[in-house]
A = this chain, B = another copy of it.
């Protein structure tokens, strides 16, 4: 599909549609043409900073009329080239739509503008006794997290953005504004448009407001850590925890290489072996028993060096170290950029998949670490690569393919939480079949007939000829 480049008339019209808040300076455009990954920058032609859904709608209408691509942009923390302006066009930066519109402590929900970040939301919630649990490492925006179907360390207990979003306000390709649901906890009234837009990466509509489920801050929290000599033992521990219905809140894997990187970066002195981090939280009367069960299972499965974080400060340092895994890995190699890829498999396949992933990365020239949300069967491979090295970029491309094929062959998915973006298009047909991709294409064409919404993402290009 051919796209129009932005002429001066369109630039003026878009500026006029959003109160003059547009930018064409190269530095601003470059900032908006990249995520936190190794992909080369692909800047848009113009960046707009709307403050209302109506302004977003007006911009989209203009672009729809002119056949100009539109890329929605949150915090720029995506990892699969999700925001690259592959065909130029207009970047809609939603960071000025950053109001928390409504919080209901009684209903445990809130409505926020898309540009609110997860840390901002949790700061705003602090006095309500509630929190928002979804925590990808970066301080992403809620809109971006919804668009990517993001998750993080708490997903084993609280689910992903698929579960957290009650309703969305979305601007469609022609500028129409749709609200996809009410505030009821469940509904069987019509098609689940909420879930259709969650994870669509800006290719079906631009998310401008999000209504979220919240949760009560647990009365008590305990954190434990245990090392294992065999990945099978670590995964067996996790399987048993889940099967027994212990309401574990977090269970995270970091491999020996990741533990070394964390110690160097975070000035910690954790044992440098494959490690599981556990968090239990809930009623003060229940948590110690849960944690004792977790410990007993870990030790039964050959775990050692069991340790608990005793204070809130210790706990926070431990989880910050975990969240900084990407930065810790890239810090090992100055000047590197983190190549990071994620896959997700049934938990029964996880030990095998991680072991094979380790042998795949060991065959490259780049030192890699592995971390994972092991309760979900989801893990990340992090490689600090030299972005200027075509050899290393080629190795990472091969690695992504091999890992994706491996995960799919084990009944899993080529991405658990990073999305397809432009980085994983090659594996969509393998995962969903030609008929599955064809059905998605029908939906895309129905909602975006001119193909202006984040073109080149999620759906692989149609074969030529």
A interface with B by C-beta (< 8 Å):
104-109, 129, 148-151, 155, 159-160, 162-163, 172, 176-193, 195-196, 198-200, 204, 215-216, 218-219, 239, 242-247, 282-283, 285-286, 289-290, 293, 344-348, 376-378, 407-408, 411-420, 424, 427-428, 431-433, 435-440, 442-447, 458-459
> Which residue from chain B places its CB closest to the CB of A442 in the assembled complex?
B446
The CA of A407 and the CA of B189, in the complex, are separated in Å by 12
Q: What's the Cα separation between A438 and B195 when bound, in Å? A: 17
Contacts of A293 in B (CB 8 A): 283
Contact partner, A186, options B184, B195, B378, Cβ 8 Å: B378
* Choice from B105, B149, B195, B443 contacting A446 with Cβ under 8 Å: B443
Give me the 5 closest cross-chain CB pairs, A-B, nearest first.
A195-B195, A446-B446, A187-B413, A106-B348, A149-B188
- A378-B188 Cα distance, complex, nearest whole Å: 11
Q: Quick one: given A184-B344, A243-B216, A413-B182, are A428 and B107 in contact (CB under 8 Å)? A: no
Contact yes or no, B346 A162, CB < 8 A? no
- Closest partner residue, chain B, to A243 (CB atom): B216
Let me know if B189 and A432 touch, CB within 8 A: yes
| Inter-chain contacts of A149 with B (CB < 8 A) | 186-188, 192
- A240 → chain B, closest Cβ, in Å? 10
Complex alpha-carbon distance, A411 and B198, angstroms: 21
Cβ A186 vs Cβ B162 within 8 A: yes
Name A416's contact: one of B186, B418, B437, B442 (CB within 8 Å): B186
Task: Given A129-B243, A196-B443, A199-B192, decide whether A187 and B104 contact each other with a Cβ distance below 8 A.
Answer: no
Q: For residue A246, which residues in chain B have a CB less than 8 angstroms away from its CB?
A: 283
Q: Which of A109, A183, A189 has the most CB of B within 10 A?
A: A189
Tell me which residues across on chain B come within 8 A of A347, comparing CB atoms.
Answer: 106-107, 185
Q: Which of B107, B219, B417, B458 contacts A190 (CB 8 A)?
A: B458
> Bound state CA distance, A195 and B195, in angstroms?
6
Q: Tell me if B446 and A184 are in contact (CB < 8 A).
A: no
Question: Closest CB-CB distance, A283 to chain B, in whole Å?
Answer: 7
Alpha-carbon distance A344/B291, docked complex (angstroms): 37
A159 vs B159: C-alpha distance in the bound complex, in angstroms? 11
A159 CB to closest chain B CB (Å) equals: 8
Name the residue among A178, A184, A417, A436 with the largest chain B CB count within 10 angstroms: A184
Given A413-B184, A436-B180, A446-B446, do A104 and B346 touch, yes or no (CB 8 Å)? yes
Contact A245 B183 (CB under 8 A): no
Closest to A347 in B: B107
- For the complex formed, measure the closest distance between the CB of A302 and the CB atoms of chain B, giving whole angstroms: 18
Known A244-B216, A446-B446; contact A106-B239, beta-carbon cutoff 8 A: yes
Apart from A180-B436, A219-B245, A245-B282, what are 17 other A-B pairs with CB-CB below 8 Å? A105-B243, A129-B243, A149-B192, A162-B186, A182-B411, A183-B346, A184-B411, A184-B416, A185-B344, A186-B417, A187-B416, A190-B440, A191-B200, A196-B196, A219-B244, A283-B289, A446-B446
A–B Cβ pairs within 8 angstroms, 7 of them:
A149-B188, A162-B195, A182-B411, A184-B377, A193-B439, A195-B195, A218-B245
Which of B108, B190, B196, B376 is in CB contact (< 8 Å) with A459?
Answer: B190
CB distance from A23 to the nearest CB of B (A): 30
A183 and B411 contact, CB distance less than 8 A: yes
CB nearest to A204 among chain B residues = B191
Chain B residues with Cβ below 8 Å from A414 are: 189
A418 to B348 alpha-carbon distance, docked (Å) = 35
Contact A187 B415, CB 8 Å, known A109-B346, A195-B196, A283-B289: yes
CB contacts (< 8 Å) of A216 on chain B: these are: 242-245
With a CB–CB cut-off of 8 A, which chain B residues contact A187?
149, 344, 412-413, 415-416
Contact B247 A186 (CB under 8 A): no
Cβ A412 vs Cβ B182 within 8 A: yes
Docked Cα-Cα span, A106 to B215, in Å, equals 28
Interface centre among A178, A289, A414 (most CB of B within 10 A): A178
Residue of B nearest to A417 (CB): B188
| Closest B residue, CB atoms, query A458 | B190
